[in-house]
Structure 1
Amino acid sequence: MATNEAYANRTSETLRDVVADIIFLLKQAGQTVAVAESLTAGSVMAAITSVGGASSVFRGGVVSYATDLKRRLLNVDGSLIDREGVIHGEVARQMAIGARKIATTDTAQPTSWGVSTTGVAGPDLQDGKAVGTVFIGIASQHQTWALGPFNFPGDREQIRQATVLEALSQLRELLRTQRADVQL
């Protein structure tokens, strides 16, 4: 797939820059992404779709703010939730897998990546976890990751913004690694 776009290496960057890199890397690889969000409530999807070209790589996603939606829509293990609560690395990992599955409508061309966020934005503890505790899940066709716990400081909005940036930065790093592996 030929393109006139160039990969931009920057010394300082914005969320928009991170997303532009993700879109570029996904396009180059012929891949797609879907999202499952809890504490970020659609902010990851909004960040991705705020950059031109997103429609060629972004499949969609779900905001599973309520616990029962994580179980029903994303197929997160109910016994895991009962035992650990929803603020847990394995919950994030299963949410990312669920994001890939719900966004795959054609089994010949499955959604390549799933990204998820779950955590506590505050103002109160949740499932015994402190405000600012966040887990991020990422799933590819071949591997899955449960990242965290991250402990982001600040108020509710600062925690949510930090989570969006971290989730997308983590995805970008995995895409860069994949690209480097392919070029070897």
Structure 2
Amino acid sequence: MAANIKYTEKNTECLLDIATDVIRILTQAGETLGVAESLTGGGLMTALTSVPGASAVFRGGVVSYATPLKQLLLNVDADLIAKEGVIHGEVASQMAEGARKVSTFDDSGTTWGIGTTGVAGPTPQDGKPVGMVFIGIASPGGSRGLGPFHFAGSREQVREATVMEALWQLRQMLRTQSAEG
């Protein structure tokens, strides 16, 4: 099966540059961000908080590595997980929605949410190959699951590529919104 997989090209931009752009665009727009991570295990939060001034827009997040936490903390639909497993675009989308909800406080809603789910390896999970990833992005206008992405390499390389891709995808959406606004 691995021979039939078309791998996603890894982004070659500097992670800090992408994260800095995300923080800058969010700051200029007066918007905020929350995250829900699974396979990235806090990598998104680390990248975002590496940027000076991130606290103005980054509210926090949840590492929901265990499947029950995706349901309990992020309100991911149990029937969806039972039917599709956790490596699925709609799961990523619901994680992103959950990230917005769990990072809301003082009646001030979080504008954007990112969710990451996938298989970092070393073995397949739920019949999904190593390197298969879905990224969810949510905003007040709705949410969507992106993917599947297929990243080649070691466990750490798959995780790093997922962080890069998630922030790159969010930056693209933020730029589009900024151009339309």
TM-score by length of 2: 0.92
Cα root mean square deviation, aligned: 0.8
What does residue range 85-100 of structure 1 map to in structure 2 within 5 Å? 85-100=85-100
Q: TM-score normalized by structure 1?
A: 0.91
**Structure 2 CA distance, aligned partners of 1:155 and 1:14?**
19
| Residue matched to 2:138 | 139
1:10-159 aligned at under 5 Å gives the runs 13-107=13-107, 109-159=108-158
CA offsets 1:47-81 (integer angstroms, 9 cap, x no match): 00001010000000000000000000000000000
Identity of aligned residues (%): 65
Q: Which structure would you say has the larger RCO, counting Cα contacts within 8 Å and 6 or more residues apart? A: 2
How many residues in Structure 1 have an aligned counterpart in Structure 2?
A: 170
Instruction: Please list every run of at least 4 consecutive aligned residues from structure 1 whose deviation after the TM superposition is greater than 6 angstroms.
Output: none
Does the residue aligned with 2:104 lie in a helix, a strand or coil?
coil
Alpha-carbon distance, 1:142 to partner? 1.0
Task: Classify the secondary structure of the residue corresponding to 1:127.
Answer: coil
| Separation (CA, whole Å) in 2 of partners of 1:38 and 1:49 | 18
Gaps of at least 5 residues in structure 1 are 1-11
